[in-house]
Amino acid sequence: MLADYGDRTRGFGHCSFHFHGFGNSAGYAGTPLAINAAQYTGTSICGLCVQYRGVGQGLGGNPVSTAWQPGFICDECPECRFGDLDQQMGGDGRWRVEWYPMQCPVGSTTFKFGFQGGNPWYKKMMVANARVPLSNVRLWQDGAWLQLIKTIANYW
């Protein structure tokens, strides 16, 4: 099912894309989506691009189009059931959808970086605009690779 629970800022949610405007990056085409809690695997799913469409069954005044359309995962929908997505846009109802993951259409664009923190002991970095969600990030420091740790807010 796909739910519409009201307007939200593009890319708002656990994945923190809104802090740097990454919800509008070329690689994140389509609708910002929240995925159900059962399939939300923490920030490891942030930035996953999907194709989805309505299958015509549901309740409400605005059915989901039956044409395939792009979206990207940027949040969790705690009240959604397994397989459900939330469109994070104005609307009403719950509509049956089908969806599948795909590579993000980044083309020849580069990674985008956003930073938080401002002292010598604390800085967080977000990496966005990847074809698939990143599973690790390493930093070259003092002649060796340093494995960064991902936070619950999608920063490294």
Task: Select from 99, 110, 105, 156 the least CA-distant residue to 131.
Answer: 105
Q: How far is CA 47 from the centre of its chain?
A: 4
Quick one: pLDDT band at residue 8, thresholds 50, 70, 90? very low
Q: What digits encode the pLDDT tens for the residues 35-71?
A: 999 999 988 999 999 999 998 888 877 888 899 999 9
Q: Report the alpha-carbon distance of residue 143 to residue 101 in Å, rounded.
A: 37
pTM of the predicted structure, to 2 decimals: 0.83
**pLDDT of 5 strictly over 60:** no
106-124 mean pLDDT = 87
Calculate the average pLDDT of the chain: 85
- Specify burial of residue 82 (Cβ count, 10 A radius: 0-12, 13-18, 19+): exposed
Per the CB < 8 A criterion, the answer to whether 25 and 135 are in contact is no
Q: What digits encode the pLDDT tens for the residues 62-105?
A: 888 899 999 999 899 888 889 999 886 666 678 888 999 999 99
Q: Report the alpha-carbon distance of residue 74 to residue 29 in Å, rounded.
A: 12
Q: What is the DSSP letter of 48?
A: -
Per the CB < 8 A criterion, the answer to whether 104 and 132 are in contact is yes
pLDDT of residue 35: 92
Q: Report the alpha-carbon distance of residue 101 to residue 34 in Å, rounded.
A: 14
Q: Report the alpha-carbon distance of residue 13 to residue 88 in Å, rounded.
A: 10
pLDDT of residue 150: 92
pLDDT of residue 7: 45
Q: Where are the alpha helices (DSSP H) in the chain?
A: none
